[in-house]
Structure 1
Amino acid sequence: MCENRERNLIVIGISGVTCGGKTTTATKLANLLPNCKIIGQDDYFLVEDDPRHTWIPELNHVNYDTITSLDMDQMYEDLLEIINKFKRKGVLEESKNSANQEAKENCISLTRFKDSNVSFLIVEGFSIFNFKPLLPLFHLKYYFVLDKDKCLERREKRAYEPPDCPGYFEKCVWPEHLAQLKEVKTFVKNVCYFDGDSELDIIQKILADITEYLKSST
């Protein structure tokens, strides 16, 4: 069990398929939960000419959908620093306080979070559960999936820098996702899977899980 549990910090991991709803969910949670900070994996992409990238000659393009396209060691160090600062000070520096007061007032379960003096660190990204050193940090883990056609449909509506080249989705995006998903299902325990195209109220589900976690930790 993570040492930071005793310090009233809950670390939530949100991972899964591209365009599956990770960032949207993380942002909605941060607007509801008191004293909440988000760390996004996308902030750790290597620069385009970094030699650590995997180059796809037939596409003349970097494979940005593999974990080697990210500086995961730096992400891990940054998360440890945030957690250790919290242990010392009891607060999350530069934390995101809820801007949606009406939503907080309309969600009864949030009262318990506020009264419990708990803080939240949300970590989101497409392969955070595929980097083993991060796994012990998470108290709750969520993974978004989509079927291939829906994923492609959403992906084509987004603008990336650099942009996807023809064939990139078939060659890199989808195969990498399937490999990452298989690894998570095989080796990572206690993951809750969400269909990113379902009608399930995902936010309420996560809030209920947080409530249960708080009950079990007291």
Structure 2
Amino acid sequence: MMKMIVVGLSGASCTGKTTIGNILQRIFTNSRVFNQDVYYWPTESKHHYKDPETGFINWELISAFDMNSLVADLTDETSFIEKTNQFNQSDEKSSSFKTQHKLFPNYWSKEELFQDPGSVHPLVTPGNFDGIKLVLVEGILVLNDPRVADLCDYQIFIELDRETCWDRRRHRTYDPEDQIGYFDAVMWLWYLKNLEDLKSAGRPIFYLDGKDTIQENTCHVLNHIFKNSHFK
């Protein structure tokens, strides 16, 4: 029976959530990634709330997303595979992982994980995780919905300071385009509020620093999963 891991990856804007998801999807050949941005209501939708002072649509609210559809799609994906956090060492389908993992039994480092694919002992190659199904749901507010959080075996949040977030965001293009003043008037204020709500909920969330590189945080995600699973 294929084993499944469900990972919720949330965090501030411009912390590399989507890129990390793309990397994990290459590592786990049996995988499915849900991007919360796909579930935004259309711009003209009545579900959106406009900030009374600026008139900006607030894209940082959970109500800005069609969360019922996201939950339904995520539930459909996870319902037909046996879901467990206990990965039995005797499971033959995970033997390829255990053989490879013996090379680096303590942790995954970016030097090992992202080494030249032509090297003698590449750590990650297609097929290493054939016995594992990875379901990743990522987005700025995926963990703020308790229905999504309850489906996750691992909940991970990437924090970021204001200066770094703004420096990255101002160089990105959005559709619809960011309006002048949106970052200060809406985005950053609601990031802080949503993060406070998440922390006050007391969920078992693993926090990462968004100032670390994409490679480092990908390794942190993998290490967190394997440290808390029975692969050893």
- Which of 147, 156, 160 is the aligned partner of 2:161? 147
Of Structure 1 and Structure 2, the greater helix share is in: 1
Amino acid at match of 1:67: I
Q: What is the rounded CA distance, in whole Å, between the counterparts of 2:143 and 2:21 in structure 1?
A: 16
The answer to whether residue 40 in structure 2 is matched with residue 45 in structure 1 is yes
Query: Cα deviations across residues 132-155 of structure 1 (Å, max 9, x unaligned)?
Result: 111111011111111101101111
Structure 1 counterpart of 2:224: 209
- Determine what percentage of the aligned residue pairs are the same residue: 26
Question: Once the two structures are superposed, what CA deviation does each residue of 1:35-66 show, in whole Å capped at 9, x if it has no partner?
Answer: 01110000000011111110124323211111
Alignment of 1:69-218 (within 5 A): 69-87=64-82, 102=117, 106-107=122-123, 113-114=129-130, 117-198=131-212, 201-215=216-230
RMSD in angstroms over aligned alpha carbons? 2.8
1:67 to 62, 66, 80: 62
The unaligned stretches of length 5 or more in structure 1 are 1-5, 88-100
1:215 aligned counterpart, secondary structure: coil
4+ runs of 1 displaced by more than 4 Å?
Answer: 108-112
Structure ID, larger Rg: 2
**SS class of match (2:117):** helix
1:180 and 1:22 mapped to 2: Cα distance? Answer: 17
For the Cα contact (< 8 Å) 2:7–2:136, is it kept in 1? yes
How far is 1:75 from its partner? 0.5
Deviates more, 1:125-134 or 1:179-188: 179-188
- The secondary structure found in structure 1 opposite 2:45 is coil
Match of 1:16 among 1, 7, 11: 11
Q: How far apart are residue 20 of structure 1 and its match? A: 1.1
Q: Which residue of 1 aligns with 2:108?
A: none
Structure 2: runs of 5 or more not aligned: 83-115
Q: 1:210 & 1:111 partners in 2: Cα distance?
A: 18
Evaluate the alpha carbon distance shift between residue 188 and residue 40 of structure 1 in structure 2; reply closer, same or farther with a 3 A threshold: farther
| TM-score, L = length of structure 1 | 0.81
The Cα of 1:212 is off from its aligned counterpart by 2.9
Separation (CA, whole Å) in 2 of partners of 1:53 and 1:82: 28
Aligned residues: 199
Deviates more, 1:44-53 or 1:54-63: 54-63
CA distance in 1, matches of 2:128, 2:205: 24
Structure 1 residues 14-41: Cα deviation after superposition (integer angstroms, max 9, x where no partner): 1010011111111111111230111000
Secondary structure of 1:189's partner?
coil
Distance 1:207 1:109 in 2: 15
Distance 1:12 1:196 in 2: 18
